[in-house]
Every structure is written in structure tokens, then in C-alpha cells.
Amino acid sequence: MTLSLLCLAGDGIGPEIMAATKVVVEAACTRSGQTVSLADGEIGFPALNAEGSTIPEQVIEAALAADGVILGPVSHNAYPSREDGGLNPSGVLRKELDLFANIRPAQSFKGLATPTGAPVDLIIFRENLEGFYADRNLHSGPGEFMPVPGVAMAMRLITERGSERIGRAAFDHAASNGRKKVTAVHKANVMRTSDGLFLDVLRRIATGYPGIQYDEVLVDAAAALLVRDPGRFDVIVTTNMFGDILSDLASELAGGLGLAASLNLGPQNAAAQAQHGSAPDIAGHDRANPTSLIGSAAMLLGHLELVRAKALIEVSLKKAIADPRTRTSDLGGPLGTQAFSKVLVDLIQEADT
């Protein structure tokens, strides 16, 4: 059967790295014997200008119908108000597709120096639909409000169901992928009720996985430990905002956000998404590193059980980044976006069957 993927390029460097990702995905699928349809949809400023919304309803419907979504970066901080069509496409898709888990591996690359000199190999399971995120933590209305001038408040949503889903996803991944430890990151010493509920659920889940070590670390300590000793962590499971912050830190320690893959996962749908932003300052200059989005697409293919295609992409990325001659300029190499994607395609086509 033909695999249908919806490609949403987004803003800034999005169209460039999406073009690179599409040629690599098509090469990997072809090499592994899988036919793929890569349909395009418009989000962000192009959609706002054409449709009056940064994520039109037909895009949401197409995302629900596709086997998977590849989501480029968006410039949502520069959008107009929600009332004027300026929705965050990432937040909308996460909510509409019930993408409760944001899975973000941080793994250093052979031959590429890390900021601290220490190797990194961990994965963060970030709850994706709750927490302090005002665009998705309530059925209706914002999670932030100003009761009187000069006073702003935010509500944090933590539920047993949300904690159960992300906790079980983290433990299932650990058990299925040879990971030995799951660490719950929290701030229950201050947020005793909300993070207390989160930890209660995680402790209950942990009893069902006797072969997986379980521990708990305060979020401030976790940030320090990631810098001092990233090998201390294997699988991290945490709430929305903590996961957002710590995954960026872990990815930088592994080599940079430009290399960081991520997958948004729900019961029925999944979306690959670059961890970094839209970088409008270098848009159109063929300077963007497409590794993050390409690696995210590989994660999506793996989730869709296209193991060979996933492996072809990941091995090609490791080979290209290991060689200074085939790195992009942000990594000190000579290649632009298009040339780097061509190197990956050549490596895929030359790979042993």
C-alpha cells in the first residue's frame, strides 16, 4: 500500500528543509520497497495570506486522514492575534490529533564534538497537551488571564489520564528498546498537588515494570545533572513545560538543536517535527541544516513500522555528519541545504541491501 504523508513546510527556512526532507524520505522509501505519497499543505504566513488562518480547517482534516504528518517550523511569535487568524499550527495539530506525547531523543554524533565533551544518549518523553500551555490545556478559553491590570495569572492542568498516558508510553519505550531506567522529572516540593498527582501515577506505573529502574529528580537538579553528567539519564518522563525546556538543553548538549529530532505521537496519528524554530534570518540562503526535520521524519517512518527506511536515513545522517567534508556550514562544513540532502540520497542509494 502507498504511504500517505502530509508535508507542512511552515515559515522561514521551513520550505527549504522540507524540500530536503522530502527527497530523503522518498529515496529511503524507494530503496526499502515502499511507495510513498508526499502531499503538501500550507500553514503559517502563506496560509494566513491565502486563507485568513495560519492553519485552515482543510489542513487539519488532511492531517487526520494522512498516515502521518511532517511539520516544519513556524514563526508563531510573529503571528497576529488568534482572532485575526494567528493560531499556532503546532499547538492546534497536537490538540486536534490528540498527540499527547512529544518524544525527543538527544544523541551525540560520532566525530562531532559536544559542548561539554561528554557523550549524550537519552530520550525525553514530554507530556504534550496539558501543563501551563494556554493554547491546549482547556476545552475552551485561554489558560492565562489578567484579573486586574498589572496582574497576570496562568493555570496549570495536570490530570491522572494525561500522566498515565505519557508515563506508560515512556515505560513501554524503555522496555521495548533496551533502556534500563526511567526518571520522572518534577517540582513536587513546590507544586505539591499537581506534580504530586503526576508522581503518584508514575509510581503506580513503575510497579508494572520490575525490570526498569525508576527514580525521581527535581527539575532544577535535572538541568544541572544534564550538564554535569548526562549519562545519569536514560529515559526522562516529565510534564509539558519542563519537557520543552529540558529537551532543548539536552539537544544542545548533544550537538545542537539543528540535529535534534522529535515525534508527536497519539493513539491514531503522529507528526514528525523539527525541534528548532523558523530562523527567518537565514531563510532563502540555502544555509539551513535539515537534519532535525529529516531525523524526525525517520522517527515517523519507524513508528509506521518502516524499519528499513528509518535505518537508511539514520545511518546516512551519521555517516554524513561524521565526515567534515559532508557537513553543513553550521557544523563547520562546506555544504548547503540542498547539497547535504543530495549526499544523504547518495548514501541511501549506495547502502547495502
Name the active-site residue from 84, 220, 229, 323: 220
Q: Could you give the CA distance from residue 330 to residue 256 in angstroms, rounded to a whole number?
A: 10
Name every residue whose Cβ is closer than 8 Å to that of residue 141 and which is 6 or more positions away in sequence: none
- What's the CA gap between 90 and 49, in Å, rounded? 18
CB 51 within 8 A of CB 59: no
Given the residues 67, 248, 330, 346, select the one marked as catalytic.
Answer: 248
* Residue 220 is a catalytic residue: yes
Based on the residue annotation, tell me whether 172 is a catalytic residue of this protein.
no
Is residue 187 part of the annotated active site? The answer reads yes
Distance CA 111, CA 325 (A): 12
The sign of the dihedral angle between the CA atoms of 184, 176, 126, 106 is positive
Give the integer Cα–Cα distance in Å for 112 and 278. Answer: 24
* Residues contacting 352, CB < 8 A, separation 6+: none
Q: What residues does 69 pair with on adjacent strands?
A: 6, 271
Catalytic residue among 11, 95, 133, 214: 133
Nearest to 45 by CA among 8, 20, 16: 8
**CA–CA distance, 190 with 90 (Å, rounded to integer):** 30
Q: How far apart are CA 1 and CA 88, in angstroms?
A: 33
What are the start-end ranges of the H helices in the chain? 14-31, 44-51, 57-65, 89-96, 160-176, 194-206, 219-228, 240-254, 291-303, 307-322, 337-350
Active site residue 209: no
Name the active-site residue from 11, 195, 234, 244: 244
> Are the C-beta atoms of 48 and 102 separated by less than 8 Å?
no
Active site residue 79: no
Active site residues: 133, 187, 220, 244, 248
